[in-house]
Amino acid sequence: MDDLVQLKSLVYKTFQSSPTVTALLVALGTFSVVRLVYQTLVVLAQIFVLPGKSLKKFGAKQGAWAVVTGATDGIGKEFALQLAKAGFNILLVARNKELLSQTAQEIENKYHVSSEFHSIDFAKADEAAYHGFAAACDGKNIGVLVNNVGKSHNMPVNFAETPLDEVNDILTINCNATLRVTYTVLPSMVQRKRGLILNVGSFAGAVPSPMLATYSASKAFLTTFSSALAEEVKKDNIVVEHVNTYFVVSKLSKIRKPTPLIPYPAPFVRSVLSKIGLPVGAAFSGRPSTSTPFWSHALLDYVMTLLGGRDVFMGYTHRLHKDIRRRALKKAEREAKKA
């Protein structure tokens, strides 16, 4: 106790005898508070006030096309519908021909734009398949590319127990397909000096996700690829944006009921298209060309940036995935007994 009193006395005397040190500490404290307030106001303004770039900059209502992968369900289908509503012709890309045809017809009936589709199984696509995709894009004035197709694990699982075909499919779809589709579409954008590329990512790419290790790594890859590509093509008036996404109601997430933190695809996509070019919740996070546009996702992302300590969030995610796996296994066991 005496040592503590002596230490306090020493600190007090130091401040008394050295006003320069005191002034410096006060200045640093003031600067930190002002910086925090400024950053928070910027983030809130981007979430709730400031508009993003107009889609007209990328050819909306000017005969341009939008290419959307994974376009027959969930977020992908919603991107196709909202881009059609904004005035783009739509090229739908996915595996299921029947669903592609239905979605294309729905778009033409609702929005009176041209809509075509191309069927490709990205998990099994070879050179011939990508040549076919390139042929479908040929001659089109493509203003927007949405790299939405993705695959996650069937349920949380330790990496050592993950089926090898699941590992291969996730990497092939989430990484290679994004590269090959972008590689096909980008040259025409560079030639026209105009374009928008949206790479749909995940919080799992920012916070390592135990029991989803392969999926998490594939989304981290998407973050880095987007940042590097964005810097390359900035001179060509092309915007590349990594769309950081928390849970959205969809088949991929296996979530059916919305909450303030888990929206339906429609409001999520509206937020993305209304905030193009703004980092929103990813501002000040050190992730160039990343945006977290949906309001509650943005607030969560910003809070995570302020708190730091990814190991804390990683531990929480691990516990969450253990619980999800336990419940999924119990459900599978019940269904097996019924069968």
Closest-CA residue to 242 (of 286, 200, 203): 200
pLDDT of 284 strictly over 80: yes
pLDDT digits (tens, 9 = 90+) for 302-318: 999 999 877 889 999 99
Fold assignment, 55-324: Rossmann fold (3.40.50)
| Residue 101 banded pLDDT, cuts 50, 70, 90 | very high
Residue 202 marked in a binding site? yes
CB 181 within 8 A of CB 69: yes
The radius of gyration of the chain's CA atoms, rounded to the nearest angstrom, is 24
Cβ count within 10 A of residue 297 = 26
pLDDT band at 251 (very low <50, low <70, confident <90, very high): confident
Q: In angstroms, rounded to a whole number, what is the distance separating the alpha carbons of residues 18 and 13?
A: 8
Q: Is the dihedral of CA 78, 83, 88, 92 positive or negative?
A: negative
Kindly tell me if the per-residue pLDDT of 57 is higher than 70.
yes
* Spatial separation of the C-alpha atoms in residues 287 and 195, rounded to whole Å: 21
Q: What is the pLDDT of residue 28?
A: 79
Say whether pLDDT at 114 is over 80. Answer: yes
- Residue 183 bears catalytic tag: no
Task: Please state, in angstroms and rounded to a whole number, the distance separating the CA atoms of residues 105 and 99.
Answer: 10
Tell me: pLDDT of 56 over 80.
yes
pTM: 0.91
**Strands across the sheet containing 238-243:** 115-119, 89-94, 65-69, 142-147, 195-200, 238-243, 290-291
pLDDT higher than threshold 70 for residue 6: no
For residue 11, is pLDDT > 70? no
Between 239 and 310, the higher pLDDT residue: 239
Helix %, strand %, coil % for the chain, to 5? Answer: 60, 10, 30
Catalytic residue among 12, 130, 183, 215: 215
Mean pLDDT of 132-145: 98
- Sign of torsion over alpha carbons 47, 223, 183, 249: negative
**Domain definitions of the chain by residue range:** 1-47, 55-324
pLDDT tens-place string over residues 36-48: 999 999 999 999 9
How far does CA 279 lie from the centroid of its chain?
11
For 119-154, letters b (16+ CB in 10 Å) and e give bbebbebeeebbeebeebbeebebbbbbbbbbbbbe
Q: What is the mean pLDDT of the chain?
A: 93
* pLDDT at residue 280 greater than cutoff 90: yes
